[in-house]
Structure 1
């Protein structure tokens, strides 16, 4: 059986660890790796899109990172209880025309006993920014 520690119920340390693990995974921009944090039948809402299961999530992530170029994310623990975690996040990316954006949002996560995320609900807003206004500069590798 698949598992991804730490497992619920969460405490402050394990909730922060889960958030950091998610940030690190998403910053790889590797759908094959990221999708392994979710249950086979995970349910998502991302903006106005509703997804069901790893295969739909994986396809979504491939589309996302084909559009959101040089994506860089920061997540922050907002609250937690038992098997749920709430985070706030912001990320920067640019489109094909090199227009930069900063996207802000909140996510609510619910975990199965095995530590995989079974539900993810994300609300996200985008703000146009100039490249000179970027906060998340990093080495391209």
Structure 2
């Protein structure tokens, strides 16, 4: 059986590790890598888009990172209980026209016993920023 440690039920230490692992994966901007954290039938709400299944998640992320260029994300553990984790996050990106944005949001996660995410519900708001207002700078890989 496929597993993705740490496994529920979560402690402060394991919930924090799960959030950091998600941040690291999403910052890779690799749709195939990120999609492996979700069950084959995972359910998502991302803004106004509803998705089901790992294949659709991978396709969504491919579209996302084709439009949200130089994406950089920070996640923070908000709370946890048993097999659920809530996070708040912010990320920055620019579009093809060079316009920068910072997105703020919250996610509610629910995990299967094997540590894969079964449900992800995200509420996100974008705020236009200038390049000088950027907070998340990093070395390009």
Q: TM-score range by the shorter chain?
A: over 0.9
Counterpart position of 1:52: 52
Tell me the TM-score normalized by structure 1: 1.00
Which digits, 9 at most, give the CA deviation of each residue in 1:85-118, with x for residues without a partner? 0000000000000000000000000000000000
What's the CA shift string for 1:107-140, capped at 9, x where partnerless? 0000000000000000000000000000000111
Runs of 4+ in 1 over 4 A off after TM superposition: none
Instruction: Note the aligned Cα RMSD (angstroms).
Output: 0.3
Separation in 2, partners of 1:87, 1:101: 20
Match of 1:88 in 2: 88
2:105 maps to what in 1? 105
SS in 1 for 2:62: helix
CA distance in 1 between counterparts of 2:140 and 2:79 reads 32
- What's the offset of the Cα at 1:26? 0.1
- The count of residues paired between Structure 1 and Structure 2 equals 141
| SS class of match (2:7) | coil
The separation in 2 between residues aligned to 1:32 and 1:83, in whole angstroms, is 24
Are positions 1:42 and 2:15 aligned together?
A: no
Q: 3-state SS of the aligned residue for 1:27? A: helix
Gaps of 5+ in 1: none
Q: Distance in 1 between matches of 2:122 and 2:26?
A: 14
Q: TM-score, normalised by structure 2?
A: 1.00
Unaligned runs of 5+ in 2: none
Secondary structure (helix, strand or coil) at the match of 1:19 reads: helix
Residue 74 of structure 2 corresponds to: 74
1:2-13 map, 5 Å: 2-13=2-13
